[in-house]
Structure 1
Amino acid sequence: MNKSIELEAIVTESLAGKRLDQALAELFPDYSRSRLKSWITDGKVTVDTKVIEKPREKVVAGSLVAVDAEIESEERHEAQLVELDIVYEDEDILVINKPAGLVVHPGAGAPDRTLLNGLLHYDPQLDLVPRAGIIHRLDKDTTGLMVVARNVPAQTQLVSMMQA
């Protein structure tokens, strides 16, 4: 299941002369710079209705920039009932107490019954978020709290915070 993304903004004076990818990152901070850059190179971004495929293209104040793209679902994983110890949740994040013995991502040694499978069962909308919102992992035998993003803007912000 893909999610359609339609964004529009006017280039402000403070962004005039900046590269398109830099301007988009400031105009649409809910999306990562690499995602925005790929949308540009894929022809999903227009400036004043003209498709621009070069991230280095300079922007002019007053120009209308628009993004018409999709976030593609990644490899399909099956939603499965896996008991989750949720210690906090709101519309943007889940905080889960991962027990020892629970694998985070499906893989060769554990193709199912993972945290990711359980998350998809708990909240099917996580299928629209890369890696079902998992932004970090803990080893199978490690117990601890894990933060899961429930939407792409939250994921982008959490990844940025973790990198900082």
Structure 2
Amino acid sequence: MTQEINLKSEITATQTGLRLDQALAGLFPDYSRTRIKEWILSGAITIDGITVDKPREKVFETQQIEVTATIEEEVRAKAQNIALNIIYEDDHILVVNKQAGLVVHPGAGNADGTLMNALLHHCPDIEHVPRAGIVHRLDKDTTGLMVVAKTVEAQTHLVAALQARDIVREYEAIVLGTMTAGGTVDEPIERHATRRTQMAVIHSGRPSVTHYRVSEKFRAHTRLRLRLESGRTHQIRVHMAYIGHELVGDPVYGGRPRPPKSASPEFFELLKGFKRQALHAVRLELAHPFTCEIMTWHAPIPDDMVELTKALRVDTELHPIVYL
């Protein structure tokens, strides 16, 4: 179902000089910044009767803001008995090792069967916490560690820590191409201008930083350890594709499998059959929101990535890397 909304407000003295999206977030706190930005870009916002479609537009005191938009009413998620791999839990937080194929939030095409549905079944009181306590996301086919808040207070603390970059999130990935050294990708990310389900490096986008280092080199692939400073949608996948080292199996940003020359038929079939991005959230470190204790968790590399790594080692042994 859709809902027609009409919101009106006035820019205050304390908001003078702010960007439009920042000011609207303060004026209409019931709506997410993502939704507000979508409104701006779609032409749903007027300032003093004039449509404005630039989030960075500066605003000034006494300007009249009006929002005329249509939104999809949020469907209340239901509890479902879905198995979760919970590796830590107390009265305030729980940490899950998410399996491949599990969507985090209900949405278009995934009305149920999500992590949120599973959390509502495992911990019914979590329905009183926004987004069922989910603090950060992993893509459907990315595996690994996620922290979930069981109380509003814990969620508030963890969201603030995430924004302050005080939560450490490290990933394992296998990418195309042989990388000689680690580095940093510091490129802004925004939704793709025409392919709206995809993200892209766009210079007017949100600041996004990914650090990476080489863990193991193969003949035509590299195993990486990555650390995020920001947490944009598809960030690692987009940044690696941007520098020409797409993730193995990435169905969106990776393209067709590219086996190295003289690869065995078995190795080629393994690459062709790897249907998800080879990405795993391997390490999570944070200060507990109640005790302030620094806590660290590690999630074992999933079987499909272990088998892929073994095959890459065999291929490299059969065709040693020659450094000139």
TM-score, normalised with respect to structure 1: 0.54
Q: Which residue of 1 aligns with 2:316?
A: none
1:41 paired to 2:41: yes
- Partner letter of residue 123 of structure 2? G
Q: Which runs of 5+ in 2 are unaligned?
A: 84-100, 136-151, 161-324
Higher strand share: 2
The higher-RCO structure (CA 8 Å, 6+ apart) is 1
Larger Rg: 2
1:144 paired to 2:123: yes
Identity %: 35
The 2-side partners of 1:22 and 1:100 are apart by: 39
Q: Which residue of 1 aligns with 2:14?
A: 14
Q: Note if contact 2:45-2:51 (Cα within 8 Å) is conserved in structure 1.
A: yes
Q: Which runs of 5+ in 1 are unaligned?
A: 78-92, 103-108, 110-115, 117-130
The 1-side partners of 2:81 and 2:67 are apart by: 42
- After TM superposition, list the pairs within 5 Å mapping 1:1-164 onto structure 2: 1-72=1-72, 98=79, 100=81, 136-138=116-118, 143-145=122-124, 147-148=126-127, 162=155, 163-164=159-160
Q: Residue deviations 1:46-78, cap 9 Å, x none?
A: 00000000000000100000100010358xx9x
The 2-side partners of 1:143 and 1:50 are apart by: 49
- Partner letter of residue 138 of structure 1? A
Match of 2:116, SS? coil
Q: Residue deviations 1:98-152, cap 9 Å, x none?
A: 46459xxxxxx9xxxxxx8xxxxxxxxxxxxxx69x9934279x73326447xxx
The 2-side partners of 1:155 and 1:54 are apart by: 29
CA RMSD of the aligned region, Å?
4.0
Structure 1 residues 159 and 17: alpha-carbon distance in aligned structure 2, compared to 1, 3 A threshold: farther
The 1-side partners of 2:127 and 2:36 are apart by: 22
The 1-side partners of 2:29 and 2:15 are apart by: 14
- Partner letter of residue 14 of structure 2? S
Q: How many pairs align?
A: 113
Higher helix share: 1
Structure 1 residues 52 and 138: alpha-carbon distance in aligned structure 2, compared to 1, 3 A threshold: same
Match of 1:40, SS? helix
Structure 1 residues 37 and 69: alpha-carbon distance in aligned structure 2, compared to 1, 3 A threshold: same
